[in-house]
Structure 1
């Protein structure tokens, strides 16, 4: 059976690309999101992939750029639906939020087809996502520095929590954040509609990072193998899971010197960072409030009082 997504149309064993029209730009020109359909020669489930929900998070686009040419539809069971760039307007200007309505796209789901620019894009992509049996929403930690991890955002009491956690484990970045996310995230909205969803957070960088993209490509192929889109067998490896976050801000202004690297284990009382003057004079030393893993840090060394510096993943276990 032929599968369509926007202007893309693919019969069994075919691939096609096209556009999903979602509105007009300020000069009245129509615009559409880049989409692809990979229709497997054999029947099976449907996977939905999307990237660049936040316009400066490009590693997911890098994953799609590399993984799609590797997929032979004659060897696939099922269908893969892809929206390559969700936050069209932010992507064009390399910004995080949609500049048309100053909205973070991943707070707009399930969207509103008669709403703001972001709500309309969210509604259009959510309609596609609901056609799937599984969803991967490819993200990164914006332009901060962050470990490669997968986020389960539905909450531990959600009826699909175990399925989402299984999907995160199959992706296999090595780290999982299992914490209920904010309203409006695709990884919150889609499970409410019955579709297991996770958002891989593929590092954090300016532009894109080849190592994080490589892990993302491997993760997508892992999911395709584990869920029988591709032939083969995958035994997911144990993942390190954080069940919470502690964020640390600067107690004063100055220059930050981190004393731990991303992924390092920290124990209560360990020095996380020091703040100095431009001449290296010590001002403050910040220590960990509890045990965990250094998960994310700011990229620039200069800080003002109260400005974000780093995050520690807490309540850590493995599964």
Structure 2
């Protein structure tokens, strides 16, 4: 697609060299309140691609909201090639609940709200439940674009390195382009796996790529926190992506090193207790390297957590306590 004329998105008409912010209706609640999606549209003055940027499809992913706002604040529409469709809060009910999911609706009618997570039920269903309706609304915006970026953080109690996570490699020509864009992002961490939740059918980036809109998941920071370092790093990554597509001027800021991984390996506690993590997030670990310890309430060591194989320490548990079976760390395998 090329855009040198006004773009029309959901009734918003944006002239070349202009931008608009507004809201589009998505849901209606029991008292008639309309839940709307915030949208930021920027239309350039020169031909170029249309890019979708989305964050906070889970309500505790506030870093993504802030990093998109910071990146777009630097964009001059008159110097932009192509256009941008940004939905900084993709699930407003979840943000309102300050929870991964719109928990009040789930508690009200658990069976009706399955699936409860909009991120997992793309392309959605305009006649489905809340999660499916939101997914369908978002998918309608995504499929008007050439490329898409879906920004996340882990839930509270977990912290990722800034990592681009690709969907299935067998999603057609879009999969190769998505990987190219993941490198362009410049976070320094890329997961190219073939199993697990990130490559499952129904996930936003999987279904967008399958529909011809190359997309990947970008995880950064920790859920429930607004962190300056994550916001600054994430905003720079978004600008890297736009620059790689020829949409904005300036040089990409490359990472010192790019780690291309093939699989996540989650490590779980064999005892409940206090978790003390000793390894540094992002650290390269060899088999047998110590990651941390689990203490009982008297301060005695119940378990020493070590790397079972060589890998990269890509996700840390930040909670002070764990129960048996809870995740204490995640490695990325090369």
Shift in Å, 1:157: 6.7
- Structure 1's 40 and 54: CA in aligned 2 closer, same or farther, altered over 3 A? same
Q: Which residue in the other structure is 1:47 paired with?
A: 51
Query: Which of 280, 294, 315 is residue 275 of structure 1 equivalent to?
Result: 294
TM-score normalised by length of structure 2: 0.90
Moved more, 170-179 or 199-208: 199-208
Shift in Å, 1:7: 4.8
Query: Which of 170, 179, 196 is residue 214 of structure 2 equivalent to?
Result: 196
Query: Which of 113, 117, 141 is residue 104 of structure 1 equivalent to?
Result: 117
Q: May I ask how many residue pairs the two structures share in their alignment?
A: 315
String of CA shifts for 1:20-40, please: whole Å, max 9, x gaps: 111212211222100011000
Contact 2:26 2:36 survives alignment (8 Å): yes
- Structure 1's 285 and 124: CA in aligned 2 closer, same or farther, altered over 3 A? same
Q: Which residue in the other structure is 1:169 paired with?
A: 183
Moved more, 102-111 or 261-270: 102-111
Q: Which residue in the other structure is 1:73 paired with?
A: 77
Contact 1:268 1:289 survives alignment (8 Å): yes
Q: Which residue in the other structure is 1:27 paired with?
A: 31
Contact 1:3 1:37 survives alignment (8 Å): no
Shift in Å, 1:160: 2.6
Q: Residue 9 of structure 1 aligns to a residue in which SS?
A: strand
Gap runs ≥5 in structure 1: none
Contact 1:9 1:37 survives alignment (8 Å): no
Shift in Å, 1:236: 5.1
Correspondences of 1:258-269 after superposition (within 5 Å): 258-269=277-288
Contact 1:76 1:230 survives alignment (8 Å): yes
Aligned CA RMSD, in angstroms, stands at 1.7
Shift in Å, 1:234: 4.1
Contact 1:20 1:34 survives alignment (8 Å): yes
CA distance in structure 2 between the partners assigned to 1:124 and 1:193 by the alignment? 15
Moved more, 153-162 or 21-30: 153-162
- Structure 1's 283 and 197: CA in aligned 2 closer, same or farther, altered over 3 A? same
Correspondences of 1:299-314 after superposition (within 5 Å): 299-314=318-333
Contact 1:8 1:17 survives alignment (8 Å): no
TM-score normalised by length of structure 1: 0.94
CA distance in structure 1 between the partners assigned to 2:202 and 2:7 by the alignment? 28
CA distance in structure 1 between the partners assigned to 2:163 and 2:97 by the alignment? 26
Query: Which of 155, 162, 167 is residue 153 of structure 1 equivalent to?
Result: 167
Query: Which of 85, 89, 96 is residue 93 of structure 2 equivalent to?
Result: 89
Moved more, 2-11 or 208-217: 2-11
Moved more, 148-157 or 159-168: 148-157
Q: Is the aligned partner of 1:58 residue 2:76?
A: no
Q: Residue 131 of structure 1 aligns to a residue in which SS?
A: coil
